[in-house]
């Protein structure tokens, strides 16, 4: 019996798994109003940057998946981190819209081609046969905690270097303060890359990964699995929910009337929900029906989406606002913690994990292409108004409903069989 990789192996995966996305996604999520101002972008333009990222990512999923089945993850992950941090140097120069789009295309390559499938595969190897829920729950929950800590650090750095009160600070002042946020984040990403390179290795996992060679026959084998196609739909719908959490801090500013520091704090609080939810669901997933929990996560997201899409949340309903944020966060982050954890239940071979992840991600993460522009159009058509945000959350509700149906089918097709085999 192979010995599981040590806990620090998973810890490094967690640190790397969120650090690589800090620059392209976490900072714009937490500081969205600030990013729009200092880069002089509207919601559609920022969404188009995400789209360029998504298009490059789609290609990277195809070729990066098989790559993960051939080489040790620590080398691929470390190089990806260093290359991503290098992009932060350009990001801190506040380039034009055209250059920013190219930068996001570059990040689409560095964060996906060398990184994504190796991370998923290394996590699955760590979890073994009996702890897939725990492995992926800790991965996403830990990534959420990492993102939240980055958020706290970012808000702290931003506040320290902001020369004026947030309500009256000039654009130049906010730009200077945010520059320090970018540099600090880039430096930490580089450091994590070195930790991964030197410490994230075990003979067992490296031999297991190096021993595999993927052919087109393997690709055809993966595409014959019904579970793969269901997972494409499930992940697509779940990822739409995750992308829409990008606007929570903007909602806090435009609808609830918060300043940019307070709205960034709301974004940080949202990030702290991710480890709480991910770890909790991960721990119970291996004891209960992981596929049933996945279905319930979509139901929670649907409820939260309906709350935001209705007209019941107003500037004076602070408690209801935060309750709705919690409901959406529970649903979205539980889904993220679980959807790769059901691969074992869906009878997907471990040796084809990288290829499977690449193919699933090709469809599942297309929201990187369309979600940003879609909600950007809805928000810019109704600038600063609640109605634009309501339309976005109607979009969330629709995708959550489809995801719930797909998750329910997956449960009845695979989850109940898996439970009977282990009983």
Would residue 42 count as lying in a domain? yes
Residue 337 in tokens: 């913690």
Instruction: Indicate which CATH number applies to the domain containing 234.
Output: 1.20.1250.20
Enumerate residues 6+ apart whose C-beta is below 8 A from 131: 286
Enumerate residues 6+ apart whose C-beta is below 8 A from 198: none
> For residue range 379-405, what is the model confidence (pLDDT) as tens digits?
888 877 788 889 999 999 999 999 999
Helix 171-199 vs helix 132-161: angle between axes, to the nearest 10 degrees? Answer: 140
Cα four-point dihedral sign 400, 298, 360, 372? positive
DSSP label at residue 2? P
Would residue 46 count as lying in a domain? yes
Domain count, the chain: 1
- Using an 8 Å Cβ cutoff, are 15 and 144 in contact? no
> For residue range 19-50, what is the model confidence (pLDDT) as tens digits?
999 999 888 888 888 899 999 998 889 989 99
Which domain covers residue 101, as residue numbers? 7-422
- Using an 8 Å Cβ cutoff, are 101 and 56 in contact? no
Residue 276 in tokens: 């709480």
Would residue 206 count as lying in a domain? yes
Give residue 409's region: left, alpha or beta (phi > 0; psi -120 to 50): alpha
pLDDT for 202 equals: 58
Q: Which residues of 390-421 are buried (b: 16+ CB within 10 A; e: fewer)?
A: bbbbebbbebbbebbebbbbbbeebbeebbee
Would residue 390 count as lying in a domain? yes
> For residue range 217-230, what is the model confidence (pLDDT) as tens digits?
667 777 778 888 88
Distance (Å, whole) CA 112 – CA 21: 10
Would residue 255 count as lying in a domain? yes
Would residue 283 count as lying in a domain? yes
Task: Report, as ranges of residue numbers, the positions in the chain whose pLDDT lies below 50.
Answer: 1-2, 205-207, 209-213, 419-423
Would residue 2 count as lying in a domain? no
pLDDT for 66 equals: 62
Would residue 1 count as lying in a domain? no
């Amino acid at each position: 019996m192979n010995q599981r990789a040590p806990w620090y192996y998973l810890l490094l995966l967690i640190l790397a798994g969120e650090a690589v996305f800090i620059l392209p996604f976490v900072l714009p999520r937490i500081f969205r109003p600030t990013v729009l101002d200092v880069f002089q972008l509207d919601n559609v333009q920022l969404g188009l940057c995400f789209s360029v990222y998504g298009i490059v990512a789609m290609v990277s999923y195809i070729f990066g998946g098989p790559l993960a089945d051939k080489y040790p993850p620590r080398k691929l992950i470390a190089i990806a981190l260093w290359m991503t941090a290098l992009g932060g140097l350009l990001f801190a120069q506040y380039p034009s819209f055209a250059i920013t789009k190219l930068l996001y295309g570059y990040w689409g390559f560095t964060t996906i081609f060398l990184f994504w499938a190796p991370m998923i595969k290394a996590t699955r190897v760590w979890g073994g046969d009996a702890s897939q829920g725990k492995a992926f729950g800790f991965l996403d929950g830990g990534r959420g905690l990492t993102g939240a800590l980055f958020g706290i650090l970012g808000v702290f750095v931003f506040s320290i270097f902001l020369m004026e009160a947030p309500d009256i600070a000039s654009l130049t002042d906010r730009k200077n303060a945010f520059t320090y946020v970018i540099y600090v984040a880039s430096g930490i990403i580089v450091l994590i890359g070195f930790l991964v390179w030197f410490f994230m290795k075990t003979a067992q996992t490296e031999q297991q990964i190096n021993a595999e060679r993927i052919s087109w026959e393997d690709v055809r084998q993966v595409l014959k699995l019904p579970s793969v196609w269901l997972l494409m739909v499930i992940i697509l719908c779940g990822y739409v929910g995750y992308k829409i959490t990008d606007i929570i801090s903007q909602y806090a500013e435009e609808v609830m009337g918060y300043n940019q520091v307070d709205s960034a704090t709301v974004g940080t609080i949202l990030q702290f929900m991710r480890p709480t939810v991910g770890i909790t669901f991960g721990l119970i997933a291996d004891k209960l029906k992981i596929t049933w929990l996945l279905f319930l996560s979509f139901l929670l997201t649907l409820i939260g989406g309906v709350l935001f899409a209705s007209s019941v949340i107003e500037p004076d309903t602070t408690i209801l606002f935060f309750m709705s944020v919690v409901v959406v966060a529970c649903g979205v982050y539980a889904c993220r913690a679980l959807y790769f954890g059901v691969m074992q239940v869906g009878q997907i071979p471990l040796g084809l994990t990288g290829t499977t992840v690449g193919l699933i991600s090709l469809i599942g993460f297309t929201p990187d292409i369309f979600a940003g522009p879609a909600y950007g159009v809805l928000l810019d058509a109704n600038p600063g108004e609640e109605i634009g945000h309501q339309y976005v959350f109607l979009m969330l509700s629709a995708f959550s409903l489809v995801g719930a149906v797909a998750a329910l089918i997956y449960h009845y097709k695979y989850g109940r069989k898996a439970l009977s085999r282990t009983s």
